[in-house]
Amino acid sequence: MADEQAIIDALVQFDVETPSWGYGDSGTRFGVFPQEGRPRDVFEKLEDAAEVNRLTGSAAGVALHFPWDKVEDYGKLRAHAQALGLHIGAVNPNLFQDPDYKLGSVTNPNAQVRRKATAHLLECVEIATALGSTAQSLWLADGTNYAGQDDLAARHERLLECLGEWYAALPPEQEMLVEYKPFEPAFYATDIPDWGAALLICQGLGERARVLIDLGHHLPGANVEQIVSRLARNGRLGGFHFNNRRYADDDLIVGSTNPLELFLIFCELIGSGRPLPRLTIDQSHNVEAKVEAMVLSIVNMQEAYAKALLVDRDALTARQLDGDVLGGHELLLEAYNTDVRPLCARARTAKGATSDPVGELRASTYVAAAAKRRGGAEGGNP
């Protein structure tokens, strides 16, 4: 079991990327729900991210989405992030909103559409280079809804061809993170449906292609921590999109519906003996206050990580080798049920953040001042 100072030291080093898209308006397929003080552009999204980082001490990276966050001068955007004490995290290409992508992007049967999609991927390599980003993070909506709609094998070959060109264009400092999803918006055959399919793609591309796990992208009952273990053991775990779900891709606040799963995932990460991979939040639902939701997600992650660090790994291994079924389980539960909030508060203050991020945000004038400066909730932005 790690001592308290060792846990505090680990928490001081703990770093999470927040998503630019998690600060803007969001909604459902029925409509977008605008909020007062929403960021009007990526520069204001970074301002909100800087406030989250100030409060939590663990959120200096910001993942961006293109073309949502497109600007004329990426040097200016990078300088703005640095001035706020931030850096640009993973770059996320968008291959799912354009009408041309109705039947797929890189798997589309139309060669011109595939060329357009690949050109955007290559553009994002240039954008990432200009911003100092070290990762491309890809989620594809590609798939089919009906048997016979397209040739499944041909779609896979098209995917490999386009991603191969993209991977070949990556500079040495950038890696490729490949996400998977079993369904939505495709319901018959999603082109990257699970972690195994993503792994095979990555293995075919090269060493700098790794799998990204989104906690919402699994069928009910999936053992996500086992997937984490397998990918980490094989050096192919590239990172996470952390959120939480009740049913599917709900994008709820991290740790809000299944905090035990979050704890067990960190147990597997620590047990792998490898450095933590890229940790990114992909939490963006439609009813919560955005900045406060992001702060709470990070606090929940800090606490889950601290609890996982409390596990006595030697004692756990001994009980497992002895066949002590409940002994091993109870040892995990002992760490999980420990109140680590004081430890996390000490770690935050050691890093110059606040002991109570949510409380300080609620007591501050930041949200009200942003609303006054940026305007009201009417209209809504994408």
Dihedral (CA of 122, 74, 58, 247) sign: negative
The structure's pTM equals 0.95
Cα separation of 50 and 81, whole Å? Answer: 8
Residue 15 has pLDDT above 90, yes or no: yes
Instruction: Assess contact for 23 and 45: CB atoms under 8 A.
Output: yes
Specify whether the CB–CB gap between 131 and 64 falls below 8 A. Answer: yes
| Residue range 253-271: mean pLDDT, rounded | 97
How far is 367 from 361, CA to CA, in rounded Å?
A: 8
Encoded tokens for 2 = 């790690």
Which structure tokens are listed for 54? 């100030």
pLDDT digits (tens, 9 = 90+) for 341-354: 999 999 999 999 99
> Tokens standing for 5?
């100072």
Give me the residues paired with residue 374 across strands. Answer: none
Contact 135, 175 (CB under 8 A): yes
Measured in residues, the chain has a length of 382
Distances (CA, A) of 19 to 42, 62, 211, 286: 11, 6, 18, 15
Q: What phi-psi label fits residue 57: left (phi over 0), alpha (psi between -120 and 50 degrees) or beta?
A: left
Q: How many helices (H) and strands (E) does the chain have?
A: 14, 12
Residue 186 vs residue 377, higher pLDDT: 186
Please state the rounded mean pLDDT for residues 98-123. Answer: 98
Q: How far is CA 134 from CA 61, 92, 188, 214, 321, in A?
A: 11, 12, 34, 19, 40
Distance of alpha carbon 366 from alpha carbon 364, whole angstroms: 6
Distance, in Å, from the CA atom of 346 to the CA atom of 43, rounded to the nearest integer, reads 31
Using an 8 Å Cβ cutoff, are 366 and 33 in contact? no
Mean pLDDT of 176-199: 98
In the predicted structure, residue 379 carries a pLDDT above the cut 50: no
Q: How far apart are CA 310 and CA 125, in angstroms?
A: 40
Q: Which CATH superfamily is domain 14-374 in?
A: Divalent-metal-dependent TIM barrel enzymes (3.20.20.150)
High-pLDDT (> 90) share of the chain, %: 92
Q: Name the residue with higher pLDDT: 31 or 51.
A: 51
Alpha carbons 257 and 377: distance in angstroms, whole number: 28
Pick from 42, 63, 59, 41: which is nearest to 50 by CA?
Answer: 59
Assigned token pair, 255:
């740790």
Judge contact between 211 and 177, C-beta under 8 A: yes
- Tell me the per-residue pLDDT of 293-352, one tens digit each, with 9 for 90 and over: 999 999 999 999 999 999 999 999 999 999 999 999 999 999 999 999 999 999 999 999
**pLDDT surpasses 50 at 380:** no
Q: How does the average pLDDT of the chain come out, rounded? A: 95
Token representation of residue 272: 């792998």
- List alpha helices for the chain, DSSP H: 4-13, 42-56, 74-83, 111-131, 152-168, 195-205, 224-233, 259-271, 290-310, 313-321, 325-336, 341-350, 357-363, 366-374
Give me the residue spans of the domains in the chain.
14-374
Distance CA 223, CA 267 (A): 14
Question: At which residue do the structure tokens 């018959």 appear?
Answer: 188
Candidates 42, 92, 86, 38; CA nearest to 62 is: 86
Cα separation values, 41 from 22, 61, 90, 121, Å: 13, 17, 18, 22
